[in-house]
Chains A and B, each alone.
Chain A
Amino acid sequence: MVQIVISSSGTGALAQWVLVELQGEVEPRQSGSLAGSLLGDLHYTREGIPVLIVGHHILYGKVVQLEKPFAVLVKEGGAPQSGPGAPQGHYTVTALIKTKLLFKTRPKPIITHVPKKV
């Protein structure tokens, strides 16, 4: 039987990360790659509402405490050990996610102010 161990990464408290949930997909501009690119700016209003500006769009979201928190697992490298009873894989819990910023409203394009015709 396969046995894969999941353990916490040793000493100290686990890091707390935040999840950002977006409807739809994020595409890199001009067919670049996502890695290393800037996604956008995250702001919070005085009332604590998260606001995300991506390209020329603005999205309003809300802070949600996750009912079922997530754990982020990182697979440990190395070939699986052979032999009966030895675990054949190892994941380490790197961080916990208890909060998410959910953006599910339609992104609004930001249009610069067009002066009315006098």
Chain B
Amino acid sequence: SLVIRGEKDEQAVLCSKDKTYDMKIADTSNMLLFIPGCKTPEELNADPSSPNIIHSQIAGFSNNYWELRRCRPKLKKLRKLLMEDPYEGPDSRKDQALTFSKYTTEDLLSLIQASEEEILHQLQVIDACKIEGYWRILEFDYEMKLLDHVTQLIDSESWSLSKVPLRTCLEELGSLEPREMIEHILLSYGRKYVDDGEVYFEMREDKICRAIAQMLLRNAVKFNLSEFQEVWQQSVPEGMTTRLDQLKGLALVDRSSRPETISLLKVEDLPEDNQERFNSLFGIREKWTEADITPYIQDLCAEKQTVGALLTKYARSSMLNGVKVYNSRRLIS
């Protein structure tokens, strides 16, 4: 079946098992009559014994109907709900207290305007995990602590970054943290595979470097770019190489300031609505190059829509020092 979902202050959406659609009322000046059992010419031709007169009743008529248009599922709320009570680890006193900010899959289905599959997929994307039946996001410091345990172990055991054994991790780290959490961090930051009956993880360099950058950047508003790059490279595990393109959608580099700086800007903290997103971005920076703005608008693209199309619609382009830049179509105070 299909479900129409929405809070009283939200626009209604229709959800199937795996897709979400905006619902709109469409008006027409024409009159639409619906007739049960009315036959089309083909059907009459096919039936040679049809009587001369068929009495049909018009079941009803209307000037409007509901129209569906496939849309992006409204998933920003999902992260917001799970961030109400991030999991800080088994030692945290918080979890022992009864809190109402915990959500099961059923709860999420009744709160988020999206289909079940889209919700489950997004839970995977944001590395949520199920603890005691509730979906939880790890608190960032706790997540970094878990990651640190794993990277230290990889270093001390001199394992290859692409062959980290699950069994040994659980044995060595099981006394420090819950086994489910160790496995969860490996699943979040590595690619699982089986070799000769044993489970291994190929660690994801880009994701690990990105997390460490976030850890460094959240401590101040802005960083000197070259200083940051140095500290960042020193902070990542042995054998990993940092690159600025790992930080797309996470950090913004300002190449117009002297010295060049870098600051944290997470796409998931920006508004979900297209116009509001662009207003917010142009409020942060007046003119953007396509390369800089793309990571911050990529997720707005509808099926078959390109970033270029979005820019044409919501921005105005001009040339600055020989480079094409985009600015707002409207006045931003």
Contacts and interface: CB of A to CB of B under 8 A. Distances in A.
Interface of A: 1-8, 15, 17-26, 34, 39, 42, 44, 48, 50, 63, 68, 70, 72, 84-85, 87, 89, 95, 97, 99, 101, 104
Contact of A22 (B33, B56, B106): B33
Given A3-B3, A20-B32, A70-B65, 4 more contacts: A5-B2, A68-B67, A89-B4, A104-B30
B225 interface: no
B7 interface: yes
A17 B35 contact: yes
A34 B38 CA distance: 19
Contact of B6 (A2, A8, A72): A2
10 contacts: A2-B6, A3-B4, A6-B1, A17-B37, A20-B33, A21-B30, A22-B30, A39-B58, A50-B41, A72-B59
B29 to A, nearest CB: 8
Contacts of B109: 85
Contacts of A17: 34-38, 59
B31 interface: yes
Q: How large is the interface on B (under 10, 10 to 19, 20 to 34, 35 or more residues)?
A: 35 or more
Contacts of B31: 21-26
Contacts of A84: 110
Interface string B253-297: 000000000000000000000000000000000000000000000
Contact of B5 (A2, A20, A22, A72): A2
B111 interface: yes
Contacts of A89: 4
Contacts of B59: 17, 72
A1 B4 CA distance: 10
Contacts of B38: 17-18, 20, 42, 101
B32 to A, nearest CB: 6
A63 to B, nearest CB: 6
Contacts of B3: 3-6, 87
A89 B5 CA distance: 11
A2 B42 contact: no
B34 to A, nearest CB: 5
Contacts of B113: 1
B321 interface: no
Contacts of A34: 61
Nearest to B65: A70
A95 to B, nearest CB: 7
Nearest to B56: A42
B76 to A, nearest CB: 15
B8 interface: yes
Contacts of A48: 41-42, 45
Contacts of A101: 38
B131 interface: no
B110 A85 contact: yes
Nearest to A87: B3
B103 to A, nearest CB: 12
